[in-house]
Chain A
Amino acid sequence: MNVFRFILQNRGQVLELTGEHLWLVGLSTLFATLIGIPLGILIAHRPRLNKPILAGANIIQTVPSLALFGFLLPVPWLGDRADRLAILALTLYALLPIIRNTYTGIRGVDLAVMEAGRGMGLTELQLLLQVELPLAVSVILSGIRTAVVISVGLATIAAAIGAGGLGEFIFRGLAMVDNRVILAGAVPAAILALVADLGVGWLEKRLQPR
């Protein structure tokens, strides 16, 4: 098929853009995890904050991605470099599934287990680290998995503001009305999403508590 011939012929650029794509997705997922898990832990323990924080993350999710990229463009430090901006936007999108799953996972821990732990004199920190997080880990990871898969797709749009990634091929192909070029971006992106999904899924299984 000529799509694959095209990819093979341009493998240097495909690899480079895949690398950029990975950079955008990886970094934004990392940030979203670092912010989302603590926020999820917070709202699991402070039910009052639950609604405002989840609502905030929900609202971000409803903003069309292209619009969000556009909104952030005039922001001083961010607008300087398109990849910074893209990473921020992707981080914001990835927050909701991570916060929500952390919350769900921790709230799902058997109350009797928590009461026994507390009654035996575990501190709240010990309960969090030894009971809540280990028991919630697979639910949290499935949130991260959702976030990664969403990010891989969304990151293609980052090319619209010049942040690079596999979206470059897609936009170029659209402009040239050449399906081969579009697919040269879309196929590696799809493979990336699948690999990330399987990878985190594997981790999820491995870390699953008995």
Chain B
Amino acid sequence: MPATAANPVIEFRDVSYRVADTQVLRDLNLQVQPGEILALLGRSGSGKTTTLKLVNRLVSPTSGEVLVNGLPNTDIEITQLRRSIGYVIQEVGLFPHFTVARNIGLVPKIEGWPEPRIRARVDELLQLAGLAPTLASRYPHQLSGGQRQRVGVARALAADPEILLMDEPFGALDPLTRDELQREFLSLQRRLCKTVVFVTHDLHEAMRLGSRIALMEAGKLVTVLSPDDFLRSSDPWPAAYVKAFGDRLESTTTEGKS
């Protein structure tokens, strides 16, 4: 799939965002191509989460516009826009008073799917997310952190959205679980071919999952590079990251590609 010929699924055009006196984002121009995984890498406060939330309009830009499938996202009815975009956050945000099945089936339900179709979809997603069918009737507090995050991903995929937004989805997990989920996520993505934007401050994760890495610093997009180019880059910011994450990097990347 030649990336240049495709129409971007998400496009930021001169987007700025400020709250009171703080310029959170400045003149952001960025395109996300169909089927790619774009990693938004940056420190806390660099504007990466804001960038993500601009897509599903949890945040509205002060100036500029965000296009989704070629349309300004302000032209799409807000709940419709959000239901067509999967959203996964670090804290997962499962509804504590809903069972796993109800959590996963939430968007189909509010979209008015018939009950049998929702049930079938929930079963399918449990399997897809590597969760035992017996977990369907459990409540979130009865699950482990890794299981909760799997449910979070399954829930985001429920209505089969084309776009998936993920805010440090694996950030709160222990290293072993994180590794497992990252690997499964990659193989899942190979099958589903969603357009994914995910936020991370972890260069390992960005290298491993991202097809491109967008590096942000202090509200500005510094550069967008492929993982390989990122490693070789002589720009000061990417180089600083590579240095900070040290020599473990080489082994991580080779493992990620195997």
Query: Which A residues contact B (CB, under 8 angstroms)?
Result: 110, 112-123, 126, 130-131, 134-135, 209-210
Contact-size category for B = 20 to 34
Verify B79–A117 contact, CB threshold 8 A.
Answer: no
Verify A115–B96 contact, CB threshold 8 A.
Answer: no
Known: A134-B97, A135-B97. A116 touches B79 (CB 8 A): no
CB distance from A65 to the nearest CB of B (A): 38
Complex interface residues of chain B between 47 and 94 (CB less than 8 A to chain A): 56, 58, 78-84, 87, 89, 91-94
Would you call B155 an interface residue if the criterion is a C-beta within 8 Å of the partner chain's C-beta atoms? yes
Closest to B155 in A: A120
CB distance from A29 to the nearest CB of B (A): 25
Interface centre among B94, B97, B141 (most CB of A within 10 A): B97
Give chain B residues whose Cβ lies under 8 Å from the Cβ of A131.
95
Give chain B residues whose Cβ lies under 8 Å from the Cβ of A210.
96-97, 139, 141
Give chain A residues whose Cβ lies under 8 Å from the Cβ of B80.
121
CB distance from A105 to the nearest CB of B (A): 13
Would you call B110 an interface residue if the criterion is a C-beta within 8 Å of the partner chain's C-beta atoms? yes
Interface centre among B87, B107, B155, B156 (most CB of A within 10 A): B87
Verify A119–B87 contact, CB threshold 8 A.
Answer: yes
Q: Of the candidates A116, A121, A122, A130, which one forms a contact with B89 in the assembled complex, judged by CB atoms under 8 Å apart?
A: A116
Would you call B28 an interface residue if the criterion is a C-beta within 8 Å of the partner chain's C-beta atoms? no
Would you call B207 an interface residue if the criterion is a C-beta within 8 Å of the partner chain's C-beta atoms? no
CB distance from A71 to the nearest CB of B (A): 43
Verify B82–A121 contact, CB threshold 8 A.
Answer: yes
Known: A118-B58, A119-B56, A119-B58. A113 touches B82 (CB 8 A): no
Verify B82–A112 contact, CB threshold 8 A.
Answer: no
CB distance from B196 to the nearest CB of A (A): 15
Q: Of the candidates B82, B91, B96, B141, which one forms a contact with A120 in the assembled complex, judged by CB atoms under 8 Å apart?
A: B82
Q: Of the candidates B58, B91, B97, B139, which one forms a contact with A112 in the assembled complex, judged by CB atoms under 8 Å apart?
A: B91
Q: Mark B101-113, 1 if CB is under 8 A from A, else 0.
A: 0000011001000
CB distance from B153 to the nearest CB of A (A): 12
Known: A119-B56, A121-B83. A113 touches B107 (CB 8 A): no
Give chain B residues whose Cβ lies under 8 Å from the Cβ of A118.
58, 82
Q: Of the candidates B81, B84, B89, B139, which one forms a contact with A115 in the assembled complex, judged by CB atoms under 8 Å apart?
A: B89
Verify B93–A110 contact, CB threshold 8 A.
Answer: yes
What CA separation (Å) do A190 and B97 show in the bound complex?
A: 35
What CA separation (Å) do A120 and B155 show in the bound complex?
A: 9
Beyond the given A113-B94, A116-B87, A119-B87, could you list 15 further A-B residue pairs with CB under 8 A, ordered by the A residue number?
A110-B91, A112-B91, A113-B95, A113-B96, A115-B89, A116-B95, A116-B152, A117-B95, A120-B107, A121-B80, A121-B84, A131-B95, A210-B96, A210-B97, A210-B141
